[in-house]
Chains A and B, each alone.
Chain A
């Protein structure tokens, strides 16, 4: 089985600062893959490179068998590769249901579909997904009036609405009430198992990522430090050093 996402030797510099240096990783179809590393180790930069948020300086990114390194963000998203943001991005002046309705996949959109009212089936699915993340009772509120944690859940639901093949989550548990984290892990696993969405997750919370991911990549100083299953990464000397600052 070939990987859904293949990143090969990707480099990215900002001025003189090397954010990613020859990074390679694979995300297997149907898996939950984790990405860890200390602050500033280049995880979010790699995310941004993958989704076409900025151009890369070298290397190749293949998604579902297609080279996407030169594509722009909306094109990549329409192929079925969607990301969520570390700081929430929702459509603040629109209510939750509207946020969901406009988040369906935009692939194959025509003038006709642009000018049609959202179908009942779409609204029903929107409400079902809001129920899934636990926002059903808030569905008529303006997204901007939700709390930070609720906005994160809404953003997650919007991403699911898009029915992506691969979903990139940038610190899904940051800023969420610790009491709710187990519920969120459960939902991520269910999205993976029931909806068949492959996940690539950046996470700071070790407990979360060890629990969630089947394969983990660890970054430090813009380079890949270690990879393997959670057990292997947890016991890797270099990973411990990177986190504890010894090096």
Chain B
């Protein structure tokens, strides 16, 4: 079978195809590249990356379980036994409501939803009505992997034009580590610029210090030179 480039260019289409193939061209052999990659390869540990990630995930799971337990006990102190746990932490698109003032003060609340005694289980408690907020909920960072957090933050910033949510996703909880750490920092710079909160210069300086030849150094330099977009 002959290659396209070896066929006679009898018509314009074949000639164009040959031109395109020439434009792409074969991969050039580069000794310098081979040495450069070898140096990087020798600097990398042999153990698989997922071992580190698994340890990180286990740590995050442990921390989130502890935080959930602590948060649950704090909430139960505030609410008493007013509502079962699944009502205290709504999973749907609802905004978390602050506890009513009367509950914090210990005063009995009006209406049938008020518990008779803090220690008695609720009977016929009306569920909290869902909020009308249109903003999607910000999942707890511990519940998301780093990749998913960056992905969600990118969508929030680019598709929803919502830098607040992007920053919440990236800044709450443990900092993003792993292969997308650089992207996470770049996203924070961009979100901070969009919001105009004045933090972008600090973030940009941190980026340039950490990734002097990074993919987003132009963005960082722009953020350093201009405080607002």
Tell whether A pairs with B.
no
Please list the residues of chain A having a beta carbon within 8 angstroms of any beta carbon in chain B. Answer: none
Please list the residues of chain B having a beta carbon within 8 angstroms of any beta carbon in chain A. Answer: none
